[in-house]
Amino acid sequence: MQEFMPMATEFAKNHTILVIAWVAVFLMLVYHLVKAATSKIKVVGNAQATSLINNEDAVVIDLRTIDEFKRGHIVNSLQFVPSDIKNHNVGKLEQHKNVPVILVCVNGLSAQSSAELLAKQGFSRVYALQEGIAGWRAANLPLVK
């Protein structure tokens, strides 16, 4: 151990940018893990989403535009735009505060931020579909027009 510390400090002096990069990556990983552990929402895959829809009458909220929604959406899903959720404009969704709500977007990225907002608005079981409609379509799961 006595030999390690001088070698480590010498390495850090000679490779400062590399050490800073590794520390930054480590801190981002810790931040991501803490955020995921404390989040009120869960990211679900297609199988778990299908189970929630079939077994627990989950409500599916499609966050894509009207045109995208008309080209194909999950059966019985409701269309909202993210600004509706941000502005607390979720009138017909209020009655579903205690049932699972699955948010779906194009690729699974923007649904998570809208899901966080719904959780803050009092929805108890909020989920985001992992790969969005793109993943749903890639798995050959049914869409209706």
Per-residue pLDDT of the chain (145 residues; tens, 9 = 90+): 678 888 888 988 999 999 999 999 999 999 988 877 777 788 999 999 999 999 999 999 999 999 999 999 999 999 998 888 888 887 888 888 889 999 999 988 889 889 999 988 888 899 999 999 999 999 999 999 8
For 58, residues 6+ apart whose C-beta sits below 8 A from its C-beta are 49, 52, 99, 100, 101, 102, 127
Task: Fill in the DSSP letter of residue 40.
Answer: S
Q: Could you give the CA distance from residue 50 to residue 28 in angstroms, rounded to a whole number?
A: 32
Q: Which residues pair with 78 in a beta bridge?
A: 61
The domain ranges of the chain are 4-36, 40-138
* Helix residue ranges per DSSP H, 82-130: 82-86, 110-120
- Catalytic (active site) residue 39: no
> Which helix or strand (DSSP H or E) is residue 73 part of?
none
* Contact in structure between 62 and 77 (CB atoms under 8 Å): yes
pTM of the model: 0.76
Q: Could you give the CA distance from residue 132 to residue 11 in angstroms, rounded to a whole number?
A: 44
| Amino acid 95: pLDDT | 84
For 27, residues 6+ apart whose C-beta sits below 8 A from its C-beta are none
User: Which of the following is catalytic: 104, 105, 115, 117?
Assistant: 105
Residue 101: Cβ within 10 Å count: 25
* Contact in structure between 62 and 69 (CB atoms under 8 Å): yes
Q: Could you give the CA distance from residue 72 to residue 143 in angstroms, rounded to a whole number?
A: 5
| Amino acid 84: pLDDT | 84
Q: Could you give the CA distance from residue 86 to residue 70 in angstroms, rounded to a whole number?
A: 23
Please state the CATH superfamily assignment of the domain spanning residues 40-138 in this structure.
Answer: Rhodanese-like domain (3.40.250.10)
